[in-house]
Amino acid sequence: MPERRKGRFGLILRFSREAKRYFFIVLAASFVSTVLNALIPKIFSFTIDEVLAPGGISYLKEHLWILSLLVAGIALVNGAAIYLYRSNTAKAGETFAKNMRDMLFFHVQRLPMSWHSKNQTGDIIQRCTTDVETIRNFVVTQVLEVFRTVFLLAVSLGMMFSMNRKLTLVALAFIPIVMAYSGVFYQLIARNFTNADEAEGELSTVVQENATGVRVVRAFGRERFEIDRFDEKNHVFARLWIKLGTLSGLYWGVGELITGFQVIFIITLGAIEAVHGNITAGEFIAFASYNTTLVWPVRSLGRILSEMSKAGVSFDRVNFILDSAEEDMSEAGKEPEHMDIAFEHVTFGYEEGGKVLEDVCVHIPEGATYGILGGTGSGKSTLVHLLDRLYDLEEGNIFIGGADIREISRGWLREHIGIVLQEPFLFSRTIRENIAAANPSASMEEIREAARIACVDDAIMGFPDGYETMVGERGVTLSGGQRQRVAIARMLLAKAPIMVFDDSLSAVDAQTDSRIRKALKEKMKDATVILISHRITTLMEADRILVLNHGKAEEMGTHRELIHNGGIYQKIYEIQMNRDDRRLLEEG
């Protein structure tokens, strides 16, 4: 399990480790640049008071190019320092962001299914991209700006105190006003940025759902509905960001007014001090320059607070992911010696108060083919999700080879239980790569053998590029039946001793369904097979069949036994057989 630190400062330290040398160079360059910039007004003051004034240093007055050369030399060194500052800031920022993205992706991969089912994909993407970028911007600009501001304040105030303490104290009197005013806006911007960031997450979810469900949108003519839904979310998003921009504009406008008053006040008092001889002309010009330098970091303090409020929201959103408990994939556990499966008094619900399964008891011998039939929401898929520990069991026990699955590591279970879902997911890669995902070291012949058992080899070879055919996003290049058969081939290539078909033969015709099951029986005869289906013809040859009704084991037996019991199975059988007969008559 990756190391994590709680808290915003802890996150910064954690993800800055590999970039610390860049941050060190940035801070050193910033300090050098600040000191060099502070020397320029001092040189001007010296030139006015000690060189150009009556009775000034005659040699320098006759050779002003020396002072010009000195300023040029300072500018040259300062340029090099700024180059180091900017280039290493970029390196530090991207290294920091890369580490954070890597950690988030690593962590999301290990979060349990229960977590993923409660969080929208679009919002997860938002947290891993936009929020990371917000944090990166804050760290490489505002955090570093804090150090630069400290350098500027220290150097500028030191110079100002050395020239006129009274003026310096007056200049400092404005700082508490700016800080108090910035603090108020910090709270306002933080609250509004939270709303705007969440609205962006909702907008991303709409786009993500529409892009992945484009076939459904087109098939049911829901373009207008989706456009209206996007427009509504987009309107809310735009309105919140306009409000945030208005607040920022108000902040900077009022800030400009306050700092403008401060500059005017200091120039007026400075002029009076110069007239009374308490400060020289050169010192007055230098003091005004230092005061302008002082005003900038004080004003930037407000910007830092503003950006801190945004980053704080993003830190919390990122921490929400990192603080979520991972599945422990490294846990040690028992390794069953055989593949008998037993569900004993299993009760489970996804939400409080709602039970999907109630007191289910099932025994599946090793090497048997077991069918599960039930309506939507009857708990068919939940049974295998619990078997694979995608969700943690609440009540009852599940055993494999006599060992409680809670004592078997998740890694072992995922390796030895192959599942093909009703809606299989294919990656945007070649067909060969999709099948080989279950076993990257498999030979081409092994890949084709798995495809033959899944009855998809002929279809693949019919494509111009064969197994090198690129599969579109989420498998859109292939038909529904082809996607399912490719997914079946992928699962078969893993050669798992327990194979689960979660209604995954629903998109293929009855003849192909029969061919796949026959090939499985011949080639995978030692495997324990669980067939979940709503189609009787898929289940009728199973050794035993479980009928689930509202989460309860309503019936259990062989096909012959169940069609004579007068229960749910018999009714479904009669309906489906009549329907199939009508279809055969129509085709004939």
Cβ distance 109 to 410 under 8 Å?
Answer: no
Out of 9-23, 185-199, 368-382, 429-443, pick the least confident: 185-199
Question: What length does the chain have?
Answer: 588
Does residue 35 have a pLDDT over 90?
no
Phi, psi of 110 (to 5 degrees): -110, 10
pLDDT tops 60 at residue 588 = no
Look up the CATH number of the domain holding residue 112: 1.20.1560.10
CA distance 386 to 117: 15
pLDDT the model gives residue 125: 85
Dihedral angle computed from the Cα positions of residues 488, 493, 496 and 502, in that order, rounded to the nearest 10 degrees: -10
Among 50-54, 109-113, 198-202, which range has the highest average pLDDT?
Answer: 109-113
Domain that holds residue 392: 341-587
Q: What is the pLDDT of residue 265?
A: 82
Q: Is residue 336 part of a domain?
A: no
DSSP 166-231: HHHHHHHHHHHHHHHHHHHHHHHHHHHHHHHHHHHHHHHHHHHHHHHTHHHHHHTT-HHHHHHHHH
Give yes or no: residues 311 and 438 share one domain: no
CA distance 448 to 459: 12
Q: Say what the pLDDT of residue 212 is.
A: 66
pLDDT > 70? residue 474:
no
Give the pLDDT confidence of 508-536 residue by residue, as tens digits.
777 787 888 888 777 777 888 999 888 88
Residue 587's pLDDT is what?
Answer: 45
Q: Which pLDDT score, from 0 to 100, does residue 578 have?
A: 66
Q: What is the DSSP string of 473-501?
A: GGGTTS-HHHHHHHHHHHHHHTT-SEEEE
Q: Is the pLDDT of residue 216 over 80?
A: no
Q: What is the pLDDT of residue 220?
A: 61
In a domain, 333, yes or no: no
Q: Are residues 223 and 371 in the same domain?
A: no
Alpha-carbon distance 528 to 400, whole Å?
A: 11
Mean pLDDT of 256-261: 78
Residues 386 and 467 in one domain: yes
**pLDDT given for residue 473 in this prediction:** 60
pLDDT in tens, 479-509: 778 888 888 899 888 888 999 988 877 667 7
Indicate the range of 114-128, 375-389, 390-404, 463-477 predicted with least confidence.
463-477
Residue 331 lies in a domain: no
CATH number of the domain enclosing 362: 3.40.50.300
Q: Which two tokens stand for residue 554?
A: 């309503």
Q: Are residues 374 and 257 in the same domain?
A: no
The half-sphere exposure of 198 on its side-chain side, counting CA atoms within 13 A, is 9
- The per-residue pLDDT for 398 is 93
Q: How far apart are alpha carbons 434 and 470 in whole angstroms?
A: 10
Which of 12-21, 56-65, 431-440, 558-567 is the least confident region? 56-65
- The pLDDT of residue 585 is 35
> Same structural domain for residues 280 and 377?
no
329 found inside a domain = no
The answer to whether residue 335 is domain-embedded is no
Residue 327 placed within a domain? no
Say whether pLDDT at 571 is over 80: yes
Higher pLDDT, 219 or 35: 35
Of residues 476 and 388, which shows the higher confidence score?
A: 388
Q: Which amino acid is at 499?
A: M
Number of domains in the chain: 2
- Indicate if 377 and 310 belong to the same structural domain: no
pTM above threshold 0.85: no
Phi, psi for 344 (deg, rounded to 5): -120, 110
Of residues 65 and 452, the one with the higher pLDDT is 452
Is residue 2 situated within a structural domain?
no
Residue 475 has pLDDT above 70, yes or no: no
Element spanning 548, H or E: strand 544-549
Q: Helix (H, G, I), strand (E, B), or coil: what is residue 61?
A: helix
Percentage of residues of the chain with pLDDT beyond 70? 89
Examine the pLDDT at 208 and tell me if it is beyond 90: no
User: Are residue 274 and residue 400 in the same domain, yes or no?
Assistant: no
- What is the structure's pLDDT at 156? 79
pLDDT at 215: 59
More confident residue, 369 or 41: 369
Q: What is the mean pLDDT of residues 220-238?
A: 81
Three-class SS state of 394: coil
Helical axes 165-212 vs 144-163, angle rounded to 10°: 170
- Residue that the structure tokens 């962590």 belong to: 107
Residue 330 lies in a domain: no
Q: Which long-range contacts (CB under 8 A, 24 or more apart) does 439-443 make?
A: 439/493, 439/494, 439/495, 442/493
Residues 442-450: what's their mean pLDDT?
Answer: 91
Q: Residues 237, 122: one domain?
A: yes
Task: pLDDT band for 1, please (50, 70, 90 cuts).
Answer: very low
Using the structure block, give the residue that is written with the tokens 């190019």.
65
Residue type, 317: R
Do 204 and 272 lie in a common domain? yes
Residues 309 and 385 in one domain: no
**Cβ contact 558:544 at 8 Å:** yes
Average pLDDT value for residue range 575-583: 61
pLDDT at position 109 is 85
Answer yes or no: do 314 and 359 share one domain. Answer: no
pLDDT at residue 582, as a whole number: 40
The chain-wide mean pLDDT, for the chain, equals: 81
Point out the domain boundary residue: 258, 288, 322.
Answer: 322
- Evaluate if residue 226 carries a pLDDT over 90: no
What is the token pair recorded at 165? 């303490």
Are 381 and 310 members of one domain?
no
- How far, in Å, CA of 301 to CA of 306, rounded? 9
